[in-house]
Amino acid sequence: MWKSVCLILLFCGFSFAQQLEVVDFQKVVAQLEIIPTEKKVKGVLDFHFKILQNTDSIFLDAKYMLVEELNSSKTKVSLRSASDKIWIRYAFQENIEYEIRFTYEAFPKQALYFFEDQIWTQGQGKYTSHWLPSLDDVNDKMIFNLSIAAPNEFTVIANGILQNKKVEAQKTWWHYEMQNPMSSYLAALVLGNFQLQTEKSASGIPLAYYYTPEDTNKVEPTYRFTKKMFDFLEEEIGVAYPWQNYKQVPVRDFLYAGMENTSLTIFSNAFVVDSTAFIDRNYVNVNAHELAHQWFGNLVTATNSEHHWLQEGFATYYALLAEREVFGEDYFYWKLYQSAEQLKELSDQGKGEALLNPKASSLTFYQKGAWALHILREKVGDVAFKIAVKNYLNSHAFQSVTTEDFLKEVEKASGLEMTTFKNDWLVQSTFLGSEVLQSLIKSDFLREFLELSALTKVPFVQKKEVLTKYLTAPINDYLGQEAVYQLATGALLETKSVYAKAFQSKNLFVRQALAISLNPIPEALLNDYQSLLKDASYLTMEVALYNLWLQFPENRAVYLKETEGIGGFSNKNIRQLWLTLAWLTEGFQEDQKPNYLQELRRYTTSKYSFEVREKAFQFLAGIQQLTDLNLKNLIDACLHPNWRFASSSRDLLDQLLQDPSMKNRFIAIKMELTKEKALWLGNKLDKR
């Protein structure tokens, strides 16, 4: 027993030492087989590495895997699998390159996710070592050449270039290769039923846009502006795109908005949109953000979380620059203003955070990081800033970086000392609102907006002329919306003519502001308000339908007929609202109501994305029409890998369990659940 404990302690001590000083893992050649029916991955791995110091053991991170050395391994080593590592024992000699080969099997609990029709990975924050032996240290970079076998019905997408594929009787091998090294959290796989459209960037980089067959008509609006932003970022950053190609794949139930895996961005299919949904919920920002990460995060990687802003702050800033190229200068300053308002509010509450705080929030890393770069660029000028960024990337390509690495390049390029900037923007927790304001008012539009918003408490009669001006064509989206919101300060007799002017505008965002702000809806504006049901905005339609149905019950059938058959966003926001309202409306299509309720209940099943399911649960709970099957689906949702969905489902479960009769229903269905779900529900019930 003592010897075993000592051996474990010895290994643990070694693991905390800097293995990077002992060994350089250079490449892995992986032959993987994905077995969906067992939620299993197995494979043969060839690791190539160079020993930097004499040692008798090295390790790979590997969570709960079975491993076995192969006779074909060039180096005969001793392998030992622990709960989270594979220990490799041998008399390794300094400056010698080695190659080892072994097999492994894993049943990943995270990082590789199995769904009925899709399988995909998420490495960052979840650790690739759950499905592929590797090194979780972001400072270790190696080339990943992945060959994947999967059932023939799947398309398989991975990092790098698809060199070839080989079709066998029951499975197909897909062989991908990379040229340059990356951190393991960026290794990725996607399996599913996908089709593909391609084009090339101005520099000749292949751009691949994947989509499911049912979304063929949504490809253009989903991927709109991709090539333009790609070309812009290559030019703006001044460093050629560092990978062989760029692929994007939408998947269901993804854990985040998107993930910048090297050469392979995976993103939530909630961003797969038609041209109407594009108005309110497009992929452009996420698209640009994940693309920028191919340089900032993938080409150069922050050494640790203290320098995390070098990834998220840069990606946020360059995404905003790309969006400015697409949507214009006013959009750029509006987004800066919105994030500044959030950051200043937190700072004023004493909750501001330093950018170099490794435990800072996403708001700090992303938005304050972007603001720091915006201010820095204004301080040193465009030329010096771009030279610094270019040299920073080129000097540290395929390496790990710190904040000092970047600031040194800024000092060289600008001739300016960066201590004050570092203290003000990276070390200090306070958000410098006065400096930010001076930057914002360089925009004529933003200065005009601030002047308009300052009139909020001014009586309507004193600002009628000003508000009318901003609702006269050509209308600025942001100024027009602000003008509408300020109409609420006046009596309807005074504001009616200005409201009429706003309704007559063809500006979708002005009309959306009308839909949101006019509550209750004045009788005098009813005809105008009803026209919002025909706007090319699913958000406007949803708000207008609900408000009209609620406030004018005598017209409910008319409103329902006008919006019948409209789906809405990917979460079916309008369809699910419509089904609920149709079921509640007395005398409306009574013979169809069982079908409407059945459809709504069907949306709680795992066949649908979590966004659809979440909304269905909310509507059914609201009208108290959850069946036992819906309750089982809710328990399934409580254990979903997407933490936001799981959290909202658990909140709903807590609410339902406050009702004793509902609690008894859950007790009754527990025996019909799988062992894992029954155990979880049992623990939940015992606590109440």
Same domain for 126 and 75? yes
- Domain end residue (candidates: 408, 430, 445): 445
3-state secondary structure of 91: strand
Helix, strand, coil shares of the chain, percent, nearest 5, are: 50, 20, 30
> For the whole model, what pTM was predicted?
0.95
Same domain for 255 and 402? no
Measured over the CA atoms of residue 11, residue 12, residue 13 and residue 17, the dihedral's sign is: positive
Instruction: Please write the tens of the pLDDT for every residue from 21-74.
Output: 999 999 999 999 999 999 999 999 999 999 999 999 999 999 999 999 887 667
Task: Single out the residue of 612, 600, 509 nearest to residue 568, CA to CA.
Answer: 612
Beta 171-177 vs 97-106: how paired, if at all?
A: unpaired
- In the predicted model, is pLDDT for residue 12 greater than 60? no
Same domain for 36 and 169? yes
Residue 563 in any domain: the answer is no
Residue 656 in any domain: the answer is no
Same domain for 434 and 368? yes
- In the predicted model, is pLDDT for residue 626 greater than 80? yes
| 126: Cβ contacts below 8 Å, ≥ 6 apart | 110, 111, 255
For residues 103-127, give the mean pLDDT: 96
Structure confidence at residue 72 (pLDDT): 66
Task: Single out the residue of 90, 8, 102, 7 nearest to residue 51, CA to CA.
Answer: 90
For residues 330-351, give the mean pLDDT: 98
Structure confidence at residue 18 (pLDDT): 73
- Cis, bond preceding 181 (omega within 30 deg of 0): no
Do residues 656 and 621 touch, judged by C-beta distance below 8 A?
A: yes
* Distance of alpha carbon 40 from alpha carbon 483, whole angstroms: 57
3-state secondary structure of 274: coil
Q: Among residues of the chain, what percentage have pLDDT more than 90?
A: 94
Same domain for 33 and 60? yes
User: Residue type for 618, please?
Assistant: Q
Residue 317 in any domain: the answer is yes
Structure confidence at residue 7 (pLDDT): 36
Do residues 470 and 482 touch, judged by C-beta distance below 8 A?
A: yes
Instruction: Please write the tens of the pLDDT for every residue from 227-244.
Output: 999 999 999 999 999 999
Q: Which domain holds residue 439?
A: 300-445
Same domain for 386 and 261? no
Residue 417 in any domain: the answer is yes
Same domain for 182 and 254? yes
Residue 158 in any domain: the answer is yes
* CATH number of the domain enclosing 440: 1.10.390.10
- Domain end residue (candidates: 257, 283, 309): 283
User: Residue type for 307, please?
Assistant: H
Q: Which helix (H) or strand (E) holds 40?
A: strand 40-51
Instruction: Please write the tens of the pLDDT for every residue from 260-295.
Output: 999 999 999 999 999 999 999 999 999 999 999 999
* Distance of alpha carbon 508 from alpha carbon 276, whole angstroms: 11
> What are the strands, taking DSSP E only, across 402-490?
none
When pLDDT is cut at 50, 70 and 90, the band that residue 250 belongs to is very high
Residue 57 in any domain: the answer is yes
For residues 368-373, give the mean pLDDT: 99
Same domain for 148 and 257? yes
Instruction: Please write the tens of the pLDDT for every residue from 406-465.
Output: 999 999 999 999 999 999 999 999 999 999 999 999 999 999 999 999 999 999 999 999
For residues 488-512, give the mean pLDDT: 96
- In the predicted model, is pLDDT for residue 589 greater than 80? yes
When pLDDT is cut at 50, 70 and 90, the band that residue 482 belongs to is very high
When pLDDT is cut at 50, 70 and 90, the band that residue 17 belongs to is very low
DSSP 43: E
200 DSSP β-pair partners = 206
3-state secondary structure of 258: strand
Task: Single out the residue of 316, 318, 323, 303 nearest to residue 343, CA to CA.
Answer: 316
DSSP 253: T
Same domain for 309 and 246? no
- In the predicted model, is pLDDT for residue 547 greater than 60? yes
Mean pLDDT of the chain: 96
Task: Single out the residue of 617, 633, 625 nearest to residue 672, CA to CA.
Answer: 633
- Domain end residue (candidates: 445, 463, 489): 445
Residue 246 in any domain: the answer is yes
| 564: Cβ contacts below 8 Å, ≥ 6 apart | 578
For residues 191-200, give the mean pLDDT: 98
Residue 626 in any domain: the answer is no
Same domain for 218 and 95? yes
When pLDDT is cut at 50, 70 and 90, the band that residue 13 belongs to is very low
| Number of domains present in the structure of the chain | 2
Residue 115 CA from chain centroid, whole number: 19
Same domain for 384 and 410? yes
Do residues 61 and 84 touch, judged by C-beta distance below 8 A?
A: yes
Could you give the C-alpha distances from 48 to 26, 27, 56, 73, in angstroms and in order? 6, 5, 17, 11
Structure confidence at residue 84 (pLDDT): 94
Structure confidence at residue 70 (pLDDT): 80
* CATH number of the domain enclosing 253: 2.60.40.1730
Structure confidence at residue 129 (pLDDT): 98
Structure confidence at residue 76 (pLDDT): 83
Alpha-carbon Rg of the chain, whole angstroms?
28
Maximal C-alpha separation, the chain: 90
- In the predicted model, is pLDDT for residue 102 greater than 60? yes
CB atoms within 10 A of CB 179: 11
Task: Single out the residue of 30, 41, 196 nearest to residue 100, CA to CA.
Answer: 30
| 291: Cβ contacts below 8 Å, ≥ 6 apart | 226, 229, 230, 233, 246, 260, 265, 319, 322
For residues 193-204, give the mean pLDDT: 99
Do residues 75 and 49 touch, judged by C-beta distance below 8 A?
A: no
When pLDDT is cut at 50, 70 and 90, the band that residue 160 belongs to is very high
* Distance of alpha carbon 667 from alpha carbon 186, whole angstroms: 43
CB atoms within 10 A of CB 663: 14
Same domain for 227 and 269? yes
